[in-house]
Amino acid sequence: MLRLVRVPRAALWLYGGSLAVGFLNYLYNIILARDAFLGPREFGMLAALSSFLYLEGVGVSVVTTVTAAYVAGFVGRRQPAAVWSFVRHFSWQVGGVGVVMGALVAVLSPGLAYWLHVPTLLPLWLFAITFPVALWSGVTLGAMQGAMAFGML
C-alpha cells in the first residue's frame, strides 16, 4: 500500500522560491537580450563574463563544503580549539590559492579579453580581485554552517 509522506513546509518554500528565481532569471535574460537594453553582441559579452563567476562559484562551493564538514566533525567531537585552528590555517591556504588564481587571471586578462571580444580589461581585473575574497568567504560560510550543525553558534 502506498503511504503519503507529509512534505515539510520548508521544502515547499524552497521549491516555490527556486521556481520564482528560475522564472525571474529567464525573464532577466529575455529583457537584457533585447536590442533596447544590450542587444545580441553585448549580451554575449555579459554571458561570457558571467560564466567566469559561475566557475568561481564552483570553487567557493567546494571550499564551503570542505570547511563545513571538518568544522562539524570537530564540533561533534567537542574540540572547539581545533575548529579555530583549522579555520585559521585553512583561511591562509585558501587565501593563498585565491591570490595565485587572481594573479593568473590578471596576467591572462589581455588574452582572455581578446578571445571573448571584450573591449575593456576592467571586468576581468575586477574578477581577478574577487577571487581571494570569494574563496575566503567560502571558509567563513562553511565554518558557520559546520558549527550550526551541532548548535555551536
Q: In this predicted model, what pLDDT tens digit does every residue of 33-67 receive, in sequence order?
A: 877 778 777 888 888 888 888 888 899 999 999 99
Residue 68: CB atoms within 10 A of its CB come to 21
pLDDT, residue 80, reads 84
- The ranges of the chain with pLDDT < 70 are 1-7, 151-153
Q: Distance of CA 25 to CAs 18, 31, 148, Å?
A: 10, 10, 31
93 within 8 A of 59, measured Cβ to Cβ: no
59 within 8 A of 90, measured Cβ to Cβ: no
- C-alpha 153/C-alpha 44 separation (Å) is 43
